[in-house]
């Protein structure tokens, strides 16, 4: 059975599943689709572009499916698609796409903390975490189980791989490798995201293969020749051969020295 506060504004033509709760002064526009078990907090706004799965939690003042912040946008009937079991905390904003071809997409079991922003045409996999005030520009792609720390801005068209972790207050201007830990200014790959890999159940031998892959990449060998095969290595190879608009974030040396533009460590850098 659904419950809506008497001050909620649910337009005719909005589609709600079973056991949906809508808080005070929340707005759900005509055409929006809300799956079963969702909870919409007070003053939240769900625009007409939204197609949402089940058991999502929308906290107060979150706004989902608003128009893209793109001066060339012509008002096309574009979409925002959201999976299941996500959490959108207070004042989160997620914008719909600019193109009819592909919606902005949030996977399932993602956690977007307060004041996070996801711009038009972004693609987020499952189990992605955006910490407070993490902000994605348009067309950003984030793989499964990646985590962005607080106050992290991401440049448009950047790719962030699965199980990557970006440290707080790091500006991400170029692509971030899967399974990596990136931090600093300028941003640099430091090492594997060992904690994330362990929590994901990646075995020790597969972690060793990833360590070998990162040594190869640090040395400029992107073909990963000689690295033992495995599911993570296969994903990494595919990721490295996929098109990139921004290029790859470089590597830090063992002592944290600034890297060269090609990703190798500059021995002359202090």
Question: Of all residues in the chain, what percent carry a pLDDT higher than 90?
Answer: 91
Give yes or no for residue 155 having a pLDDT over 60: yes
47 in catalytic set: no
| Residue-level pLDDT at 253 | 76
In a domain, 266, yes or no: no
3-state secondary structure of 87: strand
3-state secondary structure of 211: helix
In a domain, 50, yes or no: yes
CATH number of the CATH domain containing 36: 2.160.10.10
66 in catalytic set: no
| Residue-level pLDDT at 262 | 44
Active-site option among 59, 61, 95, 120: 120
Active-site option among 23, 138, 149, 230: 138
Active-site option among 121, 175, 259, 263: 121
In a domain, 267, yes or no: no
In a domain, 51, yes or no: yes
Please state, in angstroms and rounded to a whole number, the distance separating the CA atoms of residues 79 and 101: 10
**What does the pLDDT look like over 166-177, one tens digit per residue?**
999 999 999 999
In a domain, 260, yes or no: no
| Residue-level pLDDT at 52 | 99
The residue to which tokens 């490295």 are assigned: 240
Count the neighbouring beta carbons within 10 Å of the beta carbon of residue 228.
Answer: 13
In a domain, 39, yes or no: yes
Q: Which residues are 39's β-sheet partners?
A: 21, 57
In a domain, 220, yes or no: no
Mean pLDDT of 178-195: 97
- pLDDT, the chain, mean: 94
Q: Which domain holds residue 45?
A: 3-201
3-state secondary structure of 43: coil
The total of structural domains in the chain comes to 1
Q: Which residues are 181's β-sheet partners?
A: 165, 191
Report how far apart, in Å, the C-alpha atoms of 27 and of each of 1, 20, 65, 94, 136 are: 19, 14, 12, 15, 25
Mean pLDDT of 174-182: 99
- Please state the φ and ψ torsions of residue 83, each to the nearest 5 degrees: -80, -145
Please state, in angstroms and rounded to a whole number, the distance separating the CA atoms of residues 125 and 167: 19
**What does the pLDDT look like over 108-146, one tens digit per residue?**
999 999 999 999 999 999 999 999 999 999 999 999 999
Give yes or no for residue 256 having a pLDDT over 80: no
In a domain, 218, yes or no: no
| Residue-level pLDDT at 263 | 44
- Give the angle subtended at the CA of 160 by the CAs of 73 and 135, to the nearest 5°: 50
What does pTM read for this prediction? 0.93
121 in catalytic set: yes
Q: Are the C-beta atoms of 234 and 242 separated by less than 8 Å?
A: no
| Residue-level pLDDT at 267 | 39
| Residue-level pLDDT at 248 | 98
């Amino acid at each position: 059975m659904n419950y809506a506060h008497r001050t909620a504004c649910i337009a005719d033509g909005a589609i709600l599943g079973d056991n949906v709760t809508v808080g005070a002064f929340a707005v759900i526009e005509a055409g929006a689709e809300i799956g079963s078990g969702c909870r919409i907090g007070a003053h939240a706004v769900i625009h007409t572009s939204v197609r949402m799965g089940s058991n999502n939690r929308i906290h107060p003042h979150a706004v989902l499916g608003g128009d893209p912040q793109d001066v060339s946008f012509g008002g096309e009937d574009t979409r925002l698609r959201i999976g299941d079991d996500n959490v959108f905390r207070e004042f989160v904003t997620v914008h719909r796409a600019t193109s009819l071809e592909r919606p902005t997409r949030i996977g399932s079991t993602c956690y977007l903390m307060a004041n996070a922003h996801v711009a038009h045409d972004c693609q987020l996999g499952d189990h992605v975490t955006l910490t407070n005030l993490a902000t994605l520009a348009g067309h950003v792609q984030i793989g499964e189980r990646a985590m962005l720390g607080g106050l992290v801005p991401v440049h448009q068209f950047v790719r962030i791989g699965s199980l990557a972790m970006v440290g707080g207050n790091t500006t991400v201007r170029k692509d971030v490798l899967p399974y990596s830990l990136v931090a600093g200014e300028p941003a640099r790959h430091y090492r594997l995201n060992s904690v994330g890999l362990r929590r994901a159940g990646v075995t020790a031998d597969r972690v060793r293969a990833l360590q070998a892959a990162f040594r190869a990449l640090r040395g400029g060998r992107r073909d990963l020749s000689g690295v033992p095969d495995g599911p993570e290595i296969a994903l990494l190879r595919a990721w490295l051969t996929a098109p990139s608009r921004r290029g790859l974030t470089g590597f830090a040396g063992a002592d944290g020295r600034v890297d060269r533009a090609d990703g190798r460590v500059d021995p002359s850098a202090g």
